[in-house]
Structure 1
Amino acid sequence: MTLVAEITDVLGQTLEVDEALARLSRVLVPRLADWAAVDLRVGSRQVHRVAVTGPEGRAAGQEDWRGYLPPVGEATHSPLVQVLNEGAPVLQERVDLDAPPDSPLASVHDAFLGAIGAASAITVPLGSRRQVTGALTLVRTDPARPFDTGDLDVAGDIGRRVGLVIDNARRFGRQRAVAEAMQRNLLPPLPAHGRFQLAARYQPAPPGSQVGGDWYDAFALRDGTLALVIGDVVGHDLTAAAGMAQLHGILRSLAWDHAEPTGAVVDRLDDAMHAITIVRMATLVLARVEGPDTGPWTLHWTSAGHPPPLLLTPDGSAQYLEAGQGLILGTDPCASDPRPSAAHALPPRSTLLLYTDGLIEVPGSDLTKGLSRLRRHALALAHEPLDILCDQLAARTPLGSTDDVALLALRLPVP
C-alpha cells in the first residue's frame, strides 16, 4: 500500500505521458521488479512499447526493445495478448515462460523475456477491463524470489491507476491542441503600414502547461494611425482562448473610429467587458503611433495592469515605459477616475517591444530579475533584423516558465 500510494503521488505530478511512465519505472525498478516494460495501444490493433527499464538503466541484451510491436492477434495464449484483449492480469511462472509463442507479438515479447533472463513475470492491463489503454509487464530474474498472487494484486492496482493517468493526459493533450490551434488561428496577420516594420510571435506554454489567453494585434485606425495591442486574458484553457477572441474583436471596434485618448478607449472596453464577453479579468496595453510618414513619431498608450513596453534606441539604451499604468480590466467596474494615458517620443531606428508576462515571469521568482533579463537580451539583439530579434527573444524564455508568450515588435524607419 505504501508503494501504491507513492506511485499515485508520483503520477499525479505530471500530465505528460512520457514523463509519467519514466517516473513510474524509476519507482517500480528495483522496488517491486528487476525489469519493467510498458506497452501502449495505438489504434485498435497496433502496440507501441514506449518504455523498458532495467537495473541501473541497462538495455536488455544490449538491444533497445522499445518501438512498435507486431499487431495484436485475436485467439492466442500469449499473456500479453490476453491482457490487451481481455483486460485480465496474468502471472507467469517459469513453466509458462518456456511455452512456445503462438503469434508474432508473443514471439517478440518472449524474446524480450528471454534476453533479460526472466524467472517470473506479471502482465497487467493499464486501465480497466472496459478500456485497456496498454499493458505493464514486471519481471523478476531471481528464481528464489518469484512473483506471487499478492504481487499480482498490487500490480493490477498500479495498472488501473496508470491507465487513468494516461487517459487524463491524452484528454489534456487533445484539449491543449484544440486551444493552441484556436489561439493561433485567431491571431491576426500583421498589416503593412508605410515604412514601419512589424513582427510578432506566439509561443505556447511548455508541455505540461495549458494554453492561455495571450494575444497581439496591430491595425490601422480610421485616420490611418497605427494601433498596437498586447493582451493576456486571465485563465489557461479553452475558455481563456475564447475570451481572448471576444476581447480582441471588441477592442478593435471601440478603437477604430474614436480619436479619444487610449485610456478612454480601454475604459469603455472595461465597462462593456462583463456584459458582452465571458472574460473575468485581463491585462493589456493599447498604443497608437502618431506622426507623419516622415516623422517625428510619438507613442500614445495606456496599460491595464500589463508589463511595460520596452523601447530600444539606436544609442544603445533600453527603457521601460512605465507611465500610463491603470487597473487590470475587470477589477473595478465602478471606477469613476479616468484611466491614465501616456506619451513618449519614438526616435528614428528605435524598436518598441510589447510582450506578455510569459517572457519575463517564472513562478516563485522575482519579476524584477525577469525584466532585467529581457532588457539585457533585447539590447544584445537590438541591431538584428526584427524577425531574428523576435525569434531569439522567444527562444530565450526563462527556464521554469509555465505560461505562453505573445510578442509584438515595431521598428521605426529612418526619416
Structure 2
Amino acid sequence: MAGARTVSRVGAGALRAWCRPVTNGLLVGITGYVSTVPLVIAALVAAGAQPQEMIAALAVLGLCMGLPAMVLSICYRSPLSVGWSTGAAALLVAHGPVQGGLRSAAGAFLLAGLLTALSGLCRPLVRALRTVPAGVCSAMLAGVLVQPCLAPLWALIGRPDPGLPIALAWIVVRCISRPWAVPVALAVAVWVTPSAGLSTITSWAPPSPGMLQPRLDLHGAVSLALPLFVVTMLSQNAPALGLLRAHGYRARPRPVLLCTGAASMAGAFFGCLGVGLATVTAAMCAGPDSGAHRGRRWAAAGVAGLCQVVLGLAAGLIAPSLLALPGEVVGTVAALALLSTFLTAIRTTARAAWAGWDASLAPASTFLVVCCGAAWLGAGSTACAVLAGLTCHHAQRYLRRRGCRAGLTGEGD
C-alpha cells in the first residue's frame, strides 16, 4: 500500500514537472503564430499571392515550422524553436510588388533556402557571413522597417477610426503581458471591422495546397534572394544559436541549418516564406518559464511546433477573417507586430555606431541607402545598402591600417 502511494506521488511529481514546459509551449506556439500572421499575409500580398494561394501557403508554413521544431527538439534535447522569417516578411512588404508575381518570389525563396542549407555544409560560407558587421545588418533591417512601421501612423493621423482602438488595445495589453499584445490587437481589429469575423467560419474549407513552379532569374537572386538569406541568417539563426549557447545548450549549427534550409526549399514550391530559428520564442522556451529543470525545457519548443502544425492546418479558418480586413487595418496590426523587431534593430545599430565615428559610417550609409530606395544595376535597395555598408567598413579598415584616418575621424570639423 505504501509502495503504491509512493509510486503515485512520483507519478504526480513527474506530471507536474512536465506541466510547465507543455503549458509554456502552448502559450509560445499560439502567441508566436497569431502575433505575426498579419505580417506574413501582408508579405504574401506583396509577393502577388491570391487568397487561395495564401491559405495554402499558411498551411504549408505551419508544417515547415512545426515539423523541424519537433524533430530538432526531440533529437538534440534542446529548445530549438523554428519560425517564419520576420525579417524576410518585412523585406517583402518594403520591396513592394514582385516582378513576375508569386512564381518569381517562390524562386527567391527557393534560392534563399538553398543558401541556408549550403551554409550548413560549407563552413567558409558561415565564416564569411560572420564577417558582416552586426551594425550593417541591423541598419539594413531598420531601414527596411521604417516605411512599414510609419505608413499606418500616417493613416492613423488622417483617419483615426478604426486604427485608434487597435493601437490603444495593443498599448494596454503590452503593459500587462507583452506576448499577448499583438494577438489582442488582432482580435480588436476583427471585432471593429464589420466585414470580418464569424461570417467567414461558415465558408470554411480545409486548405488544398497546389505546387508552383518557381521562376529563377538573376534579378530576383540579387535583389531579393540574397537579402532574404542574409537577413534570416544574421537576424534569426545566428542570434538564436548564441542565445541557446548562453542558456547552456549545445546547439549544433549544421543540422539546424540543413533542416531549416530543406524546409524552406520544400515550402518554396507552395509559395511559402523561408523559415529559421526563432530568437524570441527560443528565449521563451529556454527560460525559467518552461520549468526549473533545464533538461525538460526542450518539450516547450516541441509543443510549440505541434501548435504551429495545428494552426497551419486551420489556416482555412484563420486566413479568411484576416483577408476580409481592410488593407490599412492589416497594415496597422503588421506594424505593431514589427515594432519590437524595429526597436531591436535600431538599438543594435545605435550600439554599433556608438563605438566611434569610424564605426558609425558603415551603419549610417547602409540605413540611408535603404531609406532613400536607391537601386543600382538592377539590384534592389537592400542589396545596394549592404554593398555600401561593407564598402565603407572595409575602406575604413584599410585606411586605418595605412594610418590615413585624418579625413574620416573628422579632426578638421
Which structure features the higher share of helix residues?
A: 2
Question: TM over 0.5: same fold?
Answer: no
TM-score, normalized by length of structure 2?
A: 0.24
Structure exhibiting the larger radius of gyration computed from Cα positions = 1
Highest RCO, 1 vs 2 (Cα 8 Å, sep ≥ 6) = 2
Between Structure 1 and Structure 2, the one with more strand by share is: 1
